[in-house]
Chain A
Amino acid sequence: MAIDRIEKTAKNLVLTVQDYSLFAYRAFLNLWRPPIYWPEFLVQADIIGFGSLSIVVLSGLSTGGVLALQSAATLSAFGATAVTGQFVSLTMIRELGPVLTGVMVSGRNASSMASELGSMVVTEQIDAMRALGVDPMRKLVTPRIFSSIVMLFFLTIVADACGILGGAAVTVFMNHQNGTQYLDMAWEHLRYPDIVQGLVKPLFFGYILSSIGCFYGMRTSGGTEGVGRSTIQAVVTASVLIIFVDFLLTQVLLSLFR
């Protein structure tokens, strides 16, 4: 009995990975093939980009502030509080900016994609679209993926900037250190490989969060309960995958820029 259950779960897992791979492959190819639905792209860019701006700004500011607080406490033991700016900017730009933005945006948008497309599936709107001769992959999925990749790139830059500013505010107003020194250190020790690392990651994370959100939405079954299930699966899978892929990407990018 238990063996059967394990076997069934394993088969389902393999089948899901296979389905997602095919879905992600098709979605990726559609990014380069016309028709591209520009109005849908702009609508999604507004929802994903502008709609997520407030949470990205807030999380960036507070993460930068926390980094400044924690690092100053540790660095003061070695008399190295002057490098707080370097620490905050490198951590934000190389790691926390892209990952935090990816996770925050996936919490907001992968869930909305899964629930929106899932509702369309259970009310037969996706079938209706196909019956009307329109490919839902191109009409619904591709604009969401395209706009997620583009907007996550810019949102990450915003998060990086807010993180450095949040760190500066904490450094000046709470740690009572020199703000000019903080910003000088933050800027001077930045190298192109750091910036490239920080800006390559959101391209992958944008693709992951949107393709996962759309994938779970499009395979929804079981009515409104199924929509809820798809939404949870989309957020959990996208967040975990972003963190895991970040580890792999960091390895690859570090070896490239060594």
Chain B
Amino acid sequence: MNTSSISQPQGPAPAADDGPVVAFRNVSIAFDGPPVLQDVSFSVAPGETRILLGPAGVGKSVLLKLTNGLLRPDRGSIQLFGEEISHMPEEMLFPLRTRAGMVFQEGALFDSLTVRDNVAYQLIQERVPDGEIDSRVRDALRFVELEETFGLYPASLSGGMRRRVAIARALIRQPELLLYDSPTGGLDPVTSTTIIELIVKERDVYHTPSLMVTYRLQDAFIMCTHRFDPEQGRMVSLPKGETDPNTTFLMLEEGRLIFDGSLHELIHSQNQFVREFLD
């Protein structure tokens, strides 16, 4: 991909009047050793898609798990939907988490449940009538183009299909925030593009703010330089030089946030680590 042809972002900027959906302030965490994250600060605005880049083992997944309170920081403050969650009791976090969808690295589907029950997991807990569950599950599976897997078990699905079911599960309650943990990790290029196309489709159809972790630069660039065309029903390239204005980047190096900005700023960054990562 020719990165030098990408210019400054054009089009509408994220709404500035609403508060951020996620806000990290000087967050640090360590596990029996050196810090995994140090003084990390950033925010996700409504309608914004933030792509967290970095090589394996720099704390990307840890940062994602801190976002919805699956992990607690040692220091600093984390706000989710305007509420401080860094010291919030677990019982109070559960209702807050239902407002955010999360796609795990390997899908994390419940292997003893069918695809239908996996996707409908939250709805079943909320005792939604069976008829409504079936209809909403079929809608979610249609979105990820896997309607035929309705009654199957996760063991009979391929890696890419599991990720797509995980996306359907994250989308079924129309969340206010989406967290993607390396959704294309370990997949072949064709399947990766299918997954990225789904994420772009979600971004452009529902405009849900999201935070996506990835080490694959090509996925990040595709997200920035493509849009979903509802008429053609597929992802298409933006005109040459244009990028999605609401898709921006973060980069971690050994637990420190070393970059926060647009694609244009990323490819013109003079930071040594960023340059090496891009090269």
The smallest C-beta distance from B78 to any residue of chain A, in angstroms, reads 15
In this complex, which of A125, A127, A131 has the most chain B Cβ atoms within 10 angstroms of its Cβ? A131
The chain B residue sitting closest to A124, CB to CB, is B108
Residues of chain B lying within 8 A (CB to CB) of residue A7: none
Is B90 positioned at the interface, with any CB of A under 8 Å from its CB? yes
Cα–Cα, bound, A123→B125 (Å): 21
> Per-position contact with A for B106-132: 1 when CB-CB < 8 Å, else 0?
101111000000000110010000000
> Per-position contact with B for A131-157: 1 when CB-CB < 8 Å, else 0?
111110000000000000000000000
The smallest C-beta distance from A201 to any residue of chain B, in angstroms, reads 33
Cα–Cα, bound, A129→B104 (Å): 11
* CB contact list, A73-131 vs B, under 8 A: 123-125, 127-131
Residues of chain B lying within 8 A (CB to CB) of residue A134: 94, 121-122, 125
> B125 is contacted by which of A124, A131, A133 (Cβ under 8 Å)?
A133
Is B91 positioned at the interface, with any CB of A under 8 Å from its CB? yes
Cα–Cα, bound, A124→B108 (Å): 5
Judge whether A125 and B125 touch: CB under 8 Å.
no
Residues of chain A lying within 8 A (CB to CB) of residue B106: 123-124
Is B233 positioned at the interface, with any CB of A under 8 Å from its CB? no
> How big is chain B's contact interface, by range?
20 to 34
Residues of chain B lying within 8 A (CB to CB) of residue A132: 97-98, 121-122, 125, 169
> How big is chain A's contact interface, by range?
10 to 19
Cα–Cα, bound, A132→B102 (Å): 8
Residues of chain A lying within 8 A (CB to CB) of residue B109: 125, 128
The smallest C-beta distance from B156 to any residue of chain A, in angstroms, reads 16
Check A131/B121 contact, CB under 8 A, given A123-B108, A124-B106, A124-B108.
no
The chain B residue sitting closest to A127, CB to CB, is B70
Is B68 positioned at the interface, with any CB of A under 8 Å from its CB? yes
Cα–Cα, bound, A130→B90 (Å): 9
The chain A residue sitting closest to B105, CB to CB, is A124
Cα–Cα, bound, A135→B95 (Å): 10
Is B226 positioned at the interface, with any CB of A under 8 Å from its CB? no
Judge whether B91 and A128 touch: CB under 8 Å.
no
The chain B residue sitting closest to A26, CB to CB, is B90
> B97 is contacted by which of A124, A125, A133 (Cβ under 8 Å)?
A133
Residues of chain B lying within 8 A (CB to CB) of residue A130: 70, 94, 97
Residues of A within 8 A of B (CB): 123-125, 127-135
21 contacts across the A-B interface (CB closer than 8 A): A123-B106, A123-B111, A124-B105, A124-B108, A125-B109, A127-B65, A127-B70, A128-B108, A130-B94, A131-B68, A131-B70, A131-B102, A132-B122, A132-B125, A133-B95, A133-B97, A133-B125, A134-B94, A134-B121, A135-B91, A135-B94
Given A124-B105, A128-B110, A129-B110; 8 other pairs, CB 8 A cutoff: A123-B108, A125-B110, A130-B94, A130-B97, A131-B70, A132-B98, A132-B121, A134-B122
Residues of B within 8 A of A (CB): 65, 68, 70, 90-91, 94-95, 97-98, 100, 102, 104-106, 108-111, 121-122, 125, 169, 179
